[in-house]
Amino acid sequence: MSDTTTTPTTTTADARRADAPAHAIGTRGTRRGGADGGNRPGMLRVGVSRIGFETKGYFRSPDAVFFTFLFPLIMLGIFTAAFSASGDIVPGPGMEGVSVGAYYLPGMLAAGMLLSGVQNLAVDIATEKGDGTLKRLGGTPLSPVSYFLGKIGQVFVTAVLQAALLLLVAGTILGIALPTTSEAWLTFAWVFVLGVATSALCGIALSAVPRSGKSATAVVIPIVLVLQFISGVYLQFSQLPEWMQNIASLFPLKWMAQGMRAVFLPDDFKVLEQHGEWDLGWVAIALVAWLVIGLVVSRLTFRWIRRDA
Amino acid sequence: MDTTAPDSGTTSAGLPADTDAAVRIRGLRKAYGDVVAVDGIDLDIARGETFALLGPNGAGKSTTVEILEGYRLRSAGEVSVLGIDPAHGDLDWKARLGIVLQSATESGVYTVREQLTHLAGFYPDPRDVDEVIAAVGLVAKARTRVSKLSGGQRRRVDVALGIIGRPELLFLDEPTTGFDPEARREFWKLIRGLKAEGTTILLTTHYLDEAAQLGDRAGIILGGRLLDVGLVDELGGASARVPIVRWRESDGTPHEARTERPAEFVASVVARHGGEPDALEVIRPSLEDIYLQLVHSAGAEAHDDEEALA
């Protein structure tokens, strides 16, 4: 037996070179960008590319699609079917009413805005923080601005599709009469845009609360669920005790639902509101206030990773 | 010796004299409350060099690397990565880095190709997506969602994402965990290709043969300090590399001797024996043997510290 066969090491330079033909990858010698980073794609362009990427990812996540996209539609179907025999809802004795389905449509539209924004983003971003997605992105030249453009853009794309689907089903299958005046649709447009933007920012802000990706749904869903019950989504707002209405008024969902009721219910129904008016000015003020709160909290709390002290 | 290895004009601490280093660390310290994770590290990594950072779990490897990557803030010391303090690295600086983290567990709803194409869009001069997919051996899986890949394949996606931006400096944190032997050899080829292109690489690994295969120099970190730094072929000093001859005497007792001239020594044993000795071995200590020697001789006390940190 010779000594060479018992030598177990492979550390010599020769062994290192043995299987070392340079692999055929990017042999272009010089960097076009140069050492200064050069022509890095702009924040806006990357942000727009992220909207498409995020939207694709959203529709490939069954949980998100079911619980934040389809849920209002399913609830509207259930409400309509369950209470169709119990007659119309009327604003007062002797006044003309609307079907249960028609009454709940504004609430479901508001719930869709909340779920698409708050529940979707709070769970999504907390999960991305937990599973290493954000850490990876934080090591790339992705601007947080582009990242949030992608998130907010995704929320807008899916919320618009969701509202369109709700209105389509309501107007056709469920036979709910939709508004015909341009004034009503204009109100719908600003309440919707402002509400979705506010929801998206509040979702980003809330994503800072869960301590891990796994606890995200456990933290977020109860908050969103309670809000829906006290804000006139599942329960008729006018029948809630006043103290509960007052608590709900502190949060944005009540105002989104009220704005949507102003669009979709006959004007007579405004007597059921807290002050007997639609109060669209207050809807705008409350939503803008929450938009600013969401923005400030997001700006202060967002980190790619939990950087230690 | 590889031409990319720094020349032998190094100081006694193994630091190259080159001041235009890709990575320059002086007196780096990181404490979490009372626990000191990194305790005074000095190190330079030259441009184009592949440096292997070795050490047991919790020795301070990941903390050091994450400070260089900008993920963690240091408690004290000076750090410069590609001429920039990582604590203040901007997006242009990040565009020059490639970071392969320890295993990420993303939901993986995107295909390999989608993920790479998207990330490539962040960089000023990305590599060709198909070229990178081919380089990591995932051509057949390019249209497969990442969630459907095996652990080793996912790891290759991580590596692909790390190099898509054509980085000047590539961080590889235990890149081949979960690879089968053939995949590791393919990966080594890929890394040699990057080296040939001039990429500076900082590799942390538990596979000492990997460090030996790829590294120009290596450093062993233990208890937050650099125990030794040197050319991979010289780590631990000449004495640690003296071949070992082991054999069994005719009465069955095992013997061991260290000698620079093993063939001569074996011949003398044969002559003395008058025949073939039992269980004869001539061993040249591998990087792994040297590493284990260094870590063990650093003492049990230091080791206990890391366990507490891990």
How far apart are alpha carbons A268 and B259 in whole angstroms? 103
Average pLDDT, chain B: 86
Torsion sign, CA atoms A273, A277, A282, A283: positive
How far apart are alpha carbons B70 and B84 in whole angstroms? 10
pLDDT at B304: 52
Final residue in a domain of this structure, among B230, B255, B273? B230
Residue B2 domain-assigned?
no
Please indicate whether, in this complex, the C-beta atoms of A133 and B72 are within 8 angstroms of each other. Answer: no
Do B181 and B254 sit in the same domain of this protein?
Answer: no
Final residue in a domain of this structure, among B230, B247, B263? B230
Overall average pLDDT of the A291-309 stretch: 84
The lowest-confidence range among A10-19, A118-127, A142-151, B25-34 is: A10-19
Alpha helices in A23-70 (DSSP H): 43-59, 62-64
- Contact list in B for residue A49 (CB cut-off 8 A) is 118, 121
Higher-confidence residue: B306 or A188? A188
Do B27 and B54 sit in the same domain of this protein?
Answer: yes
Residue B89 domain-assigned?
yes
pLDDT at B164: 96
Do B142 and B255 sit in the same domain of this protein?
Answer: no
- How many Cα atoms within 13 Å fall on the side-chain side of residue A50? 23
% of chain A with per-residue pLDDT over 70: 86
Closest Cα in chain A to B132: A25
Do B42 and B188 sit in the same domain of this protein?
Answer: yes
pLDDT at B228: 87
Count the domains in chain B.
2
Do B61 and B171 sit in the same domain of this protein?
Answer: yes
Do B220 and B289 sit in the same domain of this protein?
Answer: no
The lowest-confidence range among A245-254, B236-245, B260-269 is: B236-245
Do B185 and B297 sit in the same domain of this protein?
Answer: no
**Residues 6 or more apart in contact with residue A272 via CB below 8 angstroms:** A91, A237, A238
Nearest neighbour of A46 by CB, restricted to B72, B122, B196: B122
**Residues 6 or more apart in contact with residue B34 via CB below 8 angstroms:** none
Q: Which of residues 40-59 of A touch B (CB under 8 A)?
A: 40-41, 45-46, 49-50, 53, 56-57
% of chain A with per-residue pLDDT over 90: 71
Do B71 and B133 sit in the same domain of this protein?
Answer: yes
Please indicate whether, in this complex, the C-beta atoms of B122 and A41 are within 8 angstroms of each other. Answer: yes
pLDDT at B49: 95
Q: Tell me the pLDDT band of B275, cut-offs 50, 70 and 90.
A: confident
Q: Does B264 touch chain A (CB under 8 A)?
A: no
Please indicate whether, in this complex, the C-beta atoms of B71 and A305 are within 8 angstroms of each other. Answer: yes
Structural domain span for residue B242 = 238-309
pLDDT at A307: 58
B219 residue type, one letter: G
pLDDT at B118: 96
Residue B8 domain-assigned?
no
What does the pLDDT look like over B95-145, one tens digit per residue? 999 999 886 678 889 999 999 999 999 999 999 999 999 999 999 999 999
CATH value at residue B54: 3.40.50.300
What does the pLDDT look like over B39-97, one tens digit per residue? 999 999 999 999 999 988 888 898 999 999 999 999 999 999 999 999 999 999 999 99
Residue B16 domain-assigned?
no
What does the pLDDT look like over A199-245, one tens digit per residue? 999 999 999 999 888 899 999 999 999 999 999 999 999 999 999 99
Do B193 and B218 sit in the same domain of this protein?
Answer: yes
% of chain B with per-residue pLDDT over 90: 49
Overall average pLDDT of the A8-18 stretch: 39
Do B115 and B148 sit in the same domain of this protein?
Answer: yes
pLDDT at A38: 61
Final residue in a domain of this structure, among B207, B230, B253? B230
What does the pLDDT look like over A111-133, one tens digit per residue? 999 999 999 999 999 999 988 89
